[in-house]
Amino acid sequence: MGDGPPTGDLTADLIADFVAEARELVQAAAEDLLALDGAADPAVLNRVFRAVHTLKGSAALFDWPALLAVLHAAEDGLDAARAGRRPLGTDLVDVSLATLDATSRWTEAIAATGALPAGAAAESARLVDRYRGLLAPAGGVPEHPRPPGPADPVPGWAAGLLSGLSARPDGAVTALRYLPRADCFFAGNDPLGLVRRLPGLLALDLAPAAPWPPPESLDVFACNLAVTLLTADPPETVEAVFRLVRDQVTVAVLAPPSEAGPPSEPPPEADPASSEAATRTLRVDAGRIDALVALADDLAAARAALGAVTAQAASGTDLASLVPALRASDDRIGRLSAELHREAVGLRLQPLARVFRRFPRALRDIARGLGKEVALTLEGEATEVDRDVAEGLFEPLLHLLRNAVDHGIEPPETRVRAGKPAAGRIRLRAESRGERIVVSVSDDGRGLDPDLIRARAAARGLMTPAALAALDEAGVIALIFTPGFSTAAAIGTVSGRGVGMDAVRDAASRLGGACTVESRPQQGTTIRLSLPRAQALARLLLVGLGPDLYGLPMEAVDELARVPRERIHDHGPGPVTVLRGRTVPVLSLADLLDLPREAASAEARLAVLRLGDARAAIEVDRFAGRLDGLVRPLPGLAALPGLAGTTLAGDGRVLLVLDPDTLVGGWREERMP
């Protein structure tokens, strides 16, 4: 009912970040694409793909379907080329350049108006069609590593729908059976919302998965549906739409009537992982495979136990008496699937040696170009890290090494005069620290000069002179991470390429890490990147505020409470309530996020957070279930306290994940000045 903008500055900040990032990515990707036009370099192609992928991820935070659709199509097209499923021809380069051009124009429109320009939807559809045409040449059958003409026998569950089809399309039909989990609504899933995303839907059936309970005991939030459908969409599209509920769906490809003979080959599990197997191999320690197999065996045994309970239920045993067995089964399968996830994530780990090995040669060339002598030592190459983190580290590390040679290491004669060996020493080192790894680049050069940094920051107008003067030495040194600090200030031909330390910090934060610097005059500089070793699933509590859902890390949630409004008192410093004999401050999530507050209900829903020794209760509009998700850090949003990143809900929606420490930390400083 308020007339202010419903979204507030949060969205404006997000949009500003998106625009800044999109400009950079589009430009980099366009340059790379032009280079690709000459010769196909897999590393460059990969970079273009990643740029588009990152753009898509950022665009998904907003409601810009036209932009998202075209980036998605571009990602698919580039991925096909990357995986060798189709050649990277001029046609793919052309349409990708057109896509980047459109993205760039739309980004400027977004910067100016906050929305996509008129005509974006039509242009997007045209581009998507061009990609589709490229990926589905000739007979309209999509190119895919599924062997040509693959067809599954018609499964029993699809037969009814198939015979009911009045007109069967010429091409293959994909059939899908989807049994959403009973608690899927709590996880934020909307099963039919997924079905809705299939443009080629031909037939749909809904049936109770188990016999309906009597109407009076209907649990509206327990999903008891079996969804069966036929679609003209290719299996890849269907699998992409249902990728987050892959464990709950069965997909079959039904051949066109004329070809319905015996399948030429047993149908492969149409998993993107298997389609990449042809082009990408992963060396895996045999022990890890054994552990996985053992887990799979345990899981099969647990399934069998559940099957026995299901049989009892089917034979009419009182359902209530089966609850303990079901609960035990749920616990066991839950534990095993968590372990399985951990092991599977372990398969993605690779030693950093593969990245590190690329540096000695590069560094020698850089040093020679600058007339300097440098000796590089590598340490901790055996440290294992997630493959994506390893890949993402190459660029920022190369940049740090360049910087070290260019700015850190002095010319040989200066070094000798200072009593140092003529050849500068640079050390690249990795070490494990629990669930994180720390990668550092150290040099024994001249160190960072705070006075010089101050002068440059002043010259570039990054801060007011008064603010600059107030900074201590560490604060001054941290200025090298400020966007705009090193762009032109890095005068050297080697590192002055328009990317600075801010790019390094952004790269680290994209990988879920942080970047720190330590420097001593005349002794050298060390830059440390602290990064997650592997992707970890976070357990999130979903809380609702107005129409939106947010994730709160479960580890920070002490308890959930419903407290009558009259038990919340305001004694000066802010509202408090008493829970279990302790006074707890009550904060409204809407206030913390600068969003309008809904009318207060008679009962406040409080999520009590543990913050070190202190506790604070956050009031939300509703509790909306649980979600296990991969939290991706928001690029370039370090300045937005309160947010840890984003995660995907079961229905593909992007949720913001809150960071309790910074969310409440800001408030603490305000209340206790």
Partner 1 sequence: MSVRCDGGLIRLEGPCPVEEAETLAALLLAHPGAGVEWSGCTGMHTALVQVLLRLRPPLHGSCGDPFAARWLAPLLAPSDDG
Of 108-116, 216-224, 371-379, 641-649, which part binds partner 1 (CB under 8 A)? 216-224
Select from 27, 104, 224, 526 the one that contacts partner 1 (CB under 8 A): 224
Residues in 581-640 at the binding interface with partner 1, rule: CB under 8 A: 622
Residues in 181-210 at the binding interface with partner 1, rule: CB under 8 A: 185, 189-193, 195-196, 201, 204-206, 208
Are 45 and 81 in contact, with CB atoms under 8 Å apart? yes
Asked if 485 is part of the footprint of partner 1 (rule: CB under 8 A), the reply reads: no
- Chain centroid offset of residue 530 CA: 18
For residue 577, the minimal CB distance to partner 1 (Å) is 25
Q: Which is nearer to partner 1, 178 or 359 (CB)?
A: 178
**Residues ≥6 apart with Cβ < 8 Å to 237:** 174, 198, 200
Asked if 154 is part of the footprint of partner 1 (rule: CB under 8 A), the reply reads: no
For residue 182, the minimal CB distance to partner 1 (Å) is 11
Asked if 62 is part of the footprint of partner 1 (rule: CB under 8 A), the reply reads: no
Are 184 and 191 in contact, with CB atoms under 8 Å apart? yes
For residue 193, the minimal CB distance to partner 1 (Å) is 7
H or E element in which residue 49 lies: helix 42-59
Q: Which is nearer to partner 1, 460 or 622 (CB)?
A: 622
* Residue bearing tokens 């942080």: 514
For residue 621, the minimal CB distance to partner 1 (Å) is 10
Dump the DSSP string for 326-339.
HHHHHHHHHHHHHH
For residue 489, the minimal CB distance to partner 1 (Å) is 51
Of 136-144, 212-220, 262-270, 381-389, which part binds partner 1 (CB under 8 A)? 212-220
Q: How far apart are CA 316 and CA 261, in angstroms?
A: 42
- Chain centroid offset of residue 246 CA: 18
* Residue bearing tokens 């006074």: 583
For residue 622, the minimal CB distance to partner 1 (Å) is 7
Of 47-55, 215-223, 364-372, 588-596, which part binds partner 1 (CB under 8 A)? 215-223
For residue 209, the minimal CB distance to partner 1 (Å) is 10
For residue 224, the minimal CB distance to partner 1 (Å) is 7
* Strands 173-178 vs 225-231: parallel, antiparallel or unpaired: antiparallel
For residue 625, the minimal CB distance to partner 1 (Å) is 10
Mapping DSSP onto H, E and C, the string for 208-245 reads ECCCCCCHHHCCCCCCCEEEEEEECCCHHHHHHHCHHH
Asked if 220 is part of the footprint of partner 1 (rule: CB under 8 A), the reply reads: yes
**Which residue intervals of 243-386 are DSSP H helices?**
272-276, 286-314, 319-347, 353-356, 359-369
Asked if 248 is part of the footprint of partner 1 (rule: CB under 8 A), the reply reads: no
For residue 502, the minimal CB distance to partner 1 (Å) is 40
Q: Which is nearer to partner 1, 231 or 525 (CB)?
A: 231
Q: Which is nearer to partner 1, 150 or 650 (CB)?
A: 650
Binding pattern for the stretch 538-557 against partner 1, x by CB under 8 A and - elsewhere? ---------x----------
How many residues bind to partner 1 according to rule CB under 8 A? Answer: 25
Beta bridge partners of 622: 544
Q: Which is nearer to partner 1, 402 or 605 (CB)?
A: 605
Of 114-122, 221-229, 274-282, 305-313, which part binds partner 1 (CB under 8 A)? 221-229
Nearest Cα to Cα of residue 94 among 105, 78, 106: 78
* Residue bearing tokens 């249902």: 242
Asked if 562 is part of the footprint of partner 1 (rule: CB under 8 A), the reply reads: no
For residue 406, the minimal CB distance to partner 1 (Å) is 56
For residue 190, the minimal CB distance to partner 1 (Å) is 5
Select from 5, 221, 569, 666 the one that contacts partner 1 (CB under 8 A): 221
Residues in 157-186 at the binding interface with partner 1, rule: CB under 8 A: 180, 185
Burial of 259 (0-12, 13-18, 19+ CB in 10 A): exposed
Of 214-222, 250-258, 297-305, 474-482, which part binds partner 1 (CB under 8 A)? 214-222
Select from 25, 81, 127, 223 the one that contacts partner 1 (CB under 8 A): 223
Single-letter amino acid code for the residue at 358:
R
Single-letter amino acid code for the residue at 489:
A
Nearest Cα to Cα of residue 123 among 49, 55, 65, 59: 65
Q: How far apart are CA 370 and CA 348, in angstroms?
A: 38
Beta bridge partners of 543: 550, 623
Q: Which is nearer to partner 1, 189 or 646 (CB)?
A: 189
For residue 192, the minimal CB distance to partner 1 (Å) is 4
**Residues ≥6 apart with Cβ < 8 Å to 251:** 174, 175, 176, 235, 238, 239, 242, 270
* Cα Rg of the chain, angstroms: 28
Count of residues making up the chain: 673
How many Cα atoms sit within 13 Å of 535 on the Cβ side? 20
Starting at the edge strand that comes first in sequence, how are the strands of the sheet with 173-178 ordered? 201-208, 225-231, 173-178, 249-254
Beta bridge partners of 317: none
For residue 218, the minimal CB distance to partner 1 (Å) is 6
- The vertex-98 CA angle with 96 and 100, nearest 5°, equals 70
Select from 212, 314, 323, 546 the one that contacts partner 1 (CB under 8 A): 212
Q: Which is nearer to partner 1, 62 or 185 (CB)?
A: 185
Asked if 447 is part of the footprint of partner 1 (rule: CB under 8 A), the reply reads: no
Q: Which is nearer to partner 1, 213 or 334 (CB)?
A: 213
Of 56-64, 65-73, 167-175, 213-221, which part binds partner 1 (CB under 8 A)? 213-221
Q: Which residues bind partner 1 (CB under 8 A)?
A: 180, 185, 189-193, 195-196, 201, 204-206, 208, 212, 215-216, 218, 220-221, 223-225, 547, 622
